[in-house]
Amino acid sequence: MITINQLVKQVDKSHKIIAQSKGVNLIFQLPAEPGSILDANMFQRVLDNLISNALKFSPAESKVVVQVEYLEEFPGAPSPAFHFRLKVLDEGSVSPEHRERIFDKFEIVAMKQSGLPQMGLGLAFCKMVMAAHGGRISVEANEPSGSVFILEI
């Protein structure tokens, strides 16, 4: 079984050169005691997609931050719905009206950064994987600019 920290470090290796070529600072904030993840291959593809998109749509000389946190159970409290939360914070913007649509198959959305329409299956794939594992994916604004993609499982 692989830990989430190991998985994130593998993804870092595959995106480090792209980040450096754009001058994007790729930062990982990982917990000291990593938990394990089931179906590491699928989850790695989800992470690859999210980090690839973050690097693609963030401007040069910006930063992309990947944060992992574990959600704790408190004595006497019902179990949390999710065991961990992973966030990818970038400086590329997703318009509020597109935040739900970007997870639909073949959805065409003009991205603010490039102004070009973007279409694909990447985020739809991420949504399907997360749902199949009892998790969810969402996006919200990263103030003052950018997006935060949130995985909870």
DSSP readout, 59-117? PTT-EEEEEEEEPPP-TTSPPPS-SEEEEEEES----GGGTTGGGSTT-EEE-TTT-SE
Cα separation, 130 vs 109, in Å, equals 22
Model-level pTM?
0.81
Task: In whole angstroms, give the CA distance from residue 53 to residue 49.
Answer: 6
Successive 10-residue mean pLDDT values, the chain, 153 residues = 87 92 94 82 93 91 93 59 85 72 60 47 89 91 88 90
Q: What fold is seen in the domain 2-94+122-152? A: Heat Shock Protein 90 (3.30.565)
pLDDT for 112 equals 45
Q: What was the pLDDT predicted at 36?
A: 81
Strands 108-110 and 117-119: antiparallel
Other Cβ atoms less than 10 A from the Cβ of 46: the count is: 27
